[in-house]
Amino acid sequence: MPRVIELEDSGTCSLAECADALFAHGFDPMDEESLHHGAGWLRRLGNNATFLGDILVENLTQRHREEAQGQSYGPQSIVLTDHRGDCFLRANIWPGAEDRVLEASGRSPFLYDMPHDHNFHFLTLGYFGPGYWSDYYEYEYSEVAGYRGEPVKLTPKGRQRLEPGKLMLYRAHRDVHRQLPADALSVSLNIMHANPALGWLDQYRFDIENDALGAIISHGSTDAFLRVAVAMGGEESLDLAENFAAHHPSDRMRVTASDALASRLTDVATRDAFWAKMENSGRRMVAAEAKARRAALA
């Protein structure tokens, strides 16, 4: 389960002070000194009980006409700073089980009930409200090829809540959690570790009941752009997709490229022959997904 970090500090800081300290020092969660430095500043920011409310009120009052640089907003996440170096700051809103927004939208938009890992490290702090619950598991990323239905050994680690003031390090490709709604509206603060290479490392949804991998959930813009380019035709896009399907270092991208190419094949026999070729690609994940595509055709 995520690593709980015991750190007492009664000091407070502003968002700007926290961001400046993090950007000046950097944030490497695998380095103990860097992790302790980041945790200390996140603790002090968390002790500032009014900073987030002040930001929200100011932006609502101005109707975002003078939105602060680096800040952006979604229905759940508030990106508090720009991305500098290897980290940025974020706040996440977690509706309570009885909140109207959860009734209106359902639980899935907030990833409640969906067991998943992360392809990035992040440090999190319970900031407001009682905090969300999680059932925790661990697995070995290096043992997983990444195809749907693949058996995965998930080791249960119990249920805990991200209580106010609790600091936890979620470790990329190791910690799995199934989040459950908070007992009441809650907010967490995060230091997000950002590394461009992480985008090519897959994030998974898991089938807890069957100890299996459910699906890859980290598809990015490259996947979408390639599908659109191939669908619109053109020799260059087809050549690129064929190159990606055969040689791309990411198996996820190989399957995306193969799906795009297969979508242009008009009859079942031709598609089956195409996927039979991919089934013999020598890549476990690609072969398993190709076999599943052939089974669906049959």
Q: Domain coordinates of the chain in residue numbers?
A: 3-216, 221-297
Q: Which amino acid is residue 197, in one-letter code?
A: A
pLDDT band at 109 (very low <50, low <70, confident <90, very high): confident
CB 260 within 8 A of CB 231: yes
Q: Annotate 56-113 with three-state secondary structure.
A: HHHHHHHCCCCCCCCCEECCCEEECCCCECCEEEEEEEECECCCHHHHHHCCHHHCEC
pLDDT of residue 196: 75
Q: Which of 83-87, 207-211, 256-260 is the least confident region?
A: 83-87
- Taking the C-alpha atoms of residue 77 and residue 90, their distance in angstroms, rounded to an integer, is 7
Whose CA is closest to 112, among 91, 87, 92?
92
Query: For the CA atoms of the chain, what is the radius of gyration?
Result: 22
Mean predicted confidence (pLDDT) in 189-211: 89
Q: Which helix (H) or strand (E) holds 17?
A: helix 15-25
Q: 32-49 pLDDT, tens per residue? A: 999 999 999 999 999 999
Q: 119-128 pLDDT, tens per residue? A: 999 999 999 9
pLDDT of residue 73: 46
pLDDT of residue 75: 63
In this structure, which topology does domain 3-216 adopt according to CATH?
A: Jelly Rolls (2.60.120)
pLDDT of residue 220: 76
Question: At residue 141, does pLDDT exceed 70?
Answer: yes
| pTM listed for this prediction | 0.89
Would you list the DSSP string of 151-197?
B---EEEEEEE--BT-EEEEPTTTEEEEEE-BSS-EEEEEEEE--GG
Q: Which residue has the higher pLDDT, 77 or 260?
A: 260
